[in-house]
Amino acid sequence: MHFRVFDCWRLTAAMLIMAYHFLFFAPYGVEAGTQFLHRLLPLLDMFFMISGFLIASRYATRIASVADYANFMRRRIARLYPLHFLTTMFFAAIALVALVVGSAHHPWARDLAALPLHLLALHGLGTTDELALNYPSWSVSAEFFAYALFPIILLAFRWKGLAGLFALLAVWVGGLEYASSRGVFPSGHWTGADTMGAYRAFADFIAGSAIAVVVGRRMISITAHWPGIVLSVAAVAAMILQAPPYPTLLLLALALTATALAETARPDSTAMLAPLMPVTRVSFGIYLLHPVMEFVFLTVIWQRVLEPLGIIDFYVYWTLPMVATVAVAMLSDRFVERRFGGWIAGPRRPEGKPARMASA
């Protein structure tokens, strides 16, 4: 089952996050634009919910032994790690150059100190005080953390089914609230965590797994797409209006549930989105590569050459790094990630037919 709407949502979120980060280089309109886009950052929680939904839907019935789990982890590492490694080493190389030339403005000492943690994908667990190197890659660390704890989700589900997942979510969120009250998270509240974003992501991952159960069992009868559209608009409105975190997260979860129910009921209803799939496939690449394009096109070309000359308006120019990011992400997916990921994954082990997470 291919969830085309989810893929489009992830692409939209990746593009908005890229636009948010690129906007900091604008000579005017920065404050208004970044403040508005910053309100949409809960879209990161949507990323993790969708990830939990897809992983649970695909692997819940396929992991029954340590060997199955090892194969699962190897395949997830093969999917995410090659691009994470390459982008990390790109910024590590820049840090080394900054060290050699004695740059007083580049945080080379912080970046190089954080390099081992990035290579081990541990930098989203609170092991660093601030973002370093490829700053959005904390979400890669968060994903690996969620994959590592996926057996806990399976145990909760096999123990008490959907009620077990809700119990696990309640316990986990309760722990996050307690940690927030004790000032553990630098952001103040766990819903805004990044250097400690792995713990935030696992809550979303559990929620996505619970959605997979609801959809797999078809506990609610939704066959039309309009409920999902209405709920997603409501979720975005809640972000823009800066509603408290929990109503926003609930609206996101309900939007995902309604959308998945509609698409599983009528898979052909999203056939019109099929031409977009080659681009939506590289949402992860856009998300992880855009800081590289930011450095090349904005830090170097824009700030050092074009802005001083004043020959082009920023909001005309910024389409170039955006288009370049998408193009490079598509090339990376085809020629780099699939090739190196295939080496890591190795020969495909025989698997049973994918089943929905529908029975306890």
Does 355 have pLDDT greater than 50?
no
Tokens for 294, please give them.
């930011």
d(CA 248, CA 250): 5
* Residue 41 phi, psi dihedral angles, 5° rounding: -65, -20
Q: Which residue has the tokens 């959005």?
A: 136
Per-residue exposure over 318-333, b if at least 16 CB sit within 10 Å of its own CB, e if not: beebbebbbebbbebb
Does 1 have pLDDT greater than 80?
no
43-52, 177-186, 340-349: least confident range:
340-349
Q: pLDDT tens digits, residue range 73-94?
A: 999 999 999 999 999 999 999 9
Across residues 326-349, what is the average pLDDT?
85
- Three-class DSSP category at 282: coil
pLDDT score recorded for residue 209: 97
Across residues 306-310, what is the average pLDDT?
93
pLDDT score recorded for residue 338: 84
pTM tops 0.85: yes
Closest listed residue to residue 56, CA positions, set 152, 122, 186: 152
32-46, 81-95, 167-181, 224-238: least confident range:
32-46
d(CA 94, CA 174): 41
pLDDT score recorded for residue 345: 76
Q: Is 160 exposed, middle or buried (0-12, 13-18, 19+ CB in 10 A)?
A: middle
Across residues 290-305, what is the average pLDDT?
96
Sign of CA dihedral 253, 256, 262, 263: negative
Instruction: Work out the pLDDT band at 2, boundaries 50, 70, 90.
Output: confident
pLDDT score recorded for residue 187: 86
pLDDT score recorded for residue 115: 97
Across residues 319-340, what is the average pLDDT?
93
pLDDT score recorded for residue 349: 58
From the CB of residue 36, how many other CB atoms can be counted at a distance below 10 Å?
12
From the CB of residue 26, how many other CB atoms can be counted at a distance below 10 Å?
18
Q: pLDDT tens digits, residue range 244-258?
A: 999 999 999 999 999
pLDDT score recorded for residue 348: 63
pLDDT score recorded for residue 337: 87
Tell me the pLDDT of the chain averaged across its residues.
Answer: 92
Residues above pLDDT 90, as percent of the chain? 85
Is the distance from CB of 315 to CB of 43 less than 8 angstroms?
A: no
Does 341 have pLDDT greater than 90?
no
Q: pLDDT tens digits, residue range 233-283?
A: 999 999 999 999 999 999 999 999 999 999 999 999 999 999 999 999 999
Across residues 187-199, what is the average pLDDT?
93
